């Protein structure tokens, strides 16, 4: 059940939901694409030794912002639907990438301006960007589904406990806990089981990634207020008192 009562056109309500679901799905699919790049980060010079992070950390936290907005406006059921839809769309994307990767390359494809001289070189470059290890896929998708569904439940738990007040608390309270679950699952499977790294190394990476995610979660707090203010005005909705 929605957390808000509509006094505006029903078409706007469904249009806004479709836009949110589409944006969520795009960000999620992009996370699977850009996440293969690793980069170094020194917390703006505060660390003597920069840590290595995956580029997915730039986009993935935004998915929690979208789920919280949908949870607040449309309720847990429709937020869960968006999460499950994103799960299957990600696998569809991976299947299409696998199919395209197997297609024979053309000589016309070779970009000599970038230093490639043959199809084989172009193919290796393509596979480097778009081919994901099976263990990483299993880890990331397992973590995604678990963490996002948990986030929705925690969001509504905090909403009930605060009687619909303190949006900042349920936004951060749900995201911080679910992001911890996500970080532990994906890194434990990929780094611990898949790459065979020691527990101490795995946990150091988990901690570094989690600290970054918590910081990003805090930064998105003003965004959820802005998003809800805009959508409430666009949809012409008024907030109900929560039980």
Q: How would DSSP label each residue in 24-47? A: HHHHHHHHHHHTT-EEEE-TTTT-
Query: pLDDT digits over 38-85, tens only?
Result: 788 877 677 777 877 778 888 888 999 999 999 999 999 999 999 999
**Statement: residue 240 has pLDDT above 70:** no
Is 110 inside any structural domain?
yes
Mean pLDDT across 147-168? 90
For residue 183, being part of any structural domain is answered with yes
- Structure tokens belonging to residue 156: 């509504």
- pLDDT digit string (tens) for 87-116? 999 889 888 988 999 999 999 999 999 899
Residue 243 lies in a domain: no
Give the domain extent around 143: 4-238
Q: Two tokens at 220? A: 């998105």
What whole-number percentage of the chain has pLDDT above 70?
A: 90
- Whether residue 22 is contained in a domain is answered as yes
Would 46 be classed as within a structural domain? yes
Domain count, the chain: 1
Q: Return the pLDDT at 55.
A: 81
Q: In this structure, is residue 27 part of a structural domain?
A: yes
Residue matched to tokens 């970054």: 212
Report how far Cα 139 is from the mean position of its chain's Cα atoms.
Answer: 14
Residue 234 lies in a domain: yes
The secondary structure element, H or E, covering residue 51 is strand 51-54
- Residue written as token pair 């056109």: 9
112 in any annotated domain: yes
Q: What is the CATH number of the domain that holds 167?
A: 1.10.1760
Q: Are 208 and 51 in contact (CB under 8 A)?
A: yes
CA 151/CA 180 separation, integer angstroms: 11
pLDDT value of position 3: 54
């Amino acid at each position: 059940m929605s957390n808000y009562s509509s006094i505006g056109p029903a078409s706007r309500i469904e249009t806004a939901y479709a836009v949110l679901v589409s944006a969520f799905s795009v960000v999620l699919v992009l996370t699977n694409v850009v996440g293969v790049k690793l980069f170094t980060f020194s917390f703006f010079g505060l660390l003597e030794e920069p840590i290595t992070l995956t580029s997915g950390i730039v986009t993935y936290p935004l998915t929690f912002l979208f789920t919280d907005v949908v949870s607040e406006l449309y309720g847990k059921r429709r937020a869960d639907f968006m999460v499950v839809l994103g799960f299957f769309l990600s696998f569809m994307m991976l299947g299409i990438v696998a199919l395209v990767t197997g297609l024979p390359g053309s000589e016309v494809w070779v970009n000599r301006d970038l230093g490639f001289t043959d199809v084989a070189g172009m193919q290796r470059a393509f596979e480097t960007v778009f081919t994901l290890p099976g263990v990483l896929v299993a880890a990331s998708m397992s973590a995604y589904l678990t963490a996002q569904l948990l986030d929705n439940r925690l969001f509504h738990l905090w909403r009930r406990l605060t009687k619909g007040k303190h949006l900042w608390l349920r936004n951060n309270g749900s995201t911080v806990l679910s992001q911890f679950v996500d970080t532990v699952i994906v890194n434990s499977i990929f780094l611990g089981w898949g790459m065979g790294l020691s527990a101490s190394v795995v946990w150091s990476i988990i901690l570094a990634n989690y600290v970054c995610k918590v910081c990003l979660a805090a930064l998105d707090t003003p965004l959820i207020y802005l998003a809800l203010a805009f959508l409430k005005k666009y949809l012409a909705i008024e907030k109900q008192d929560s039980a």
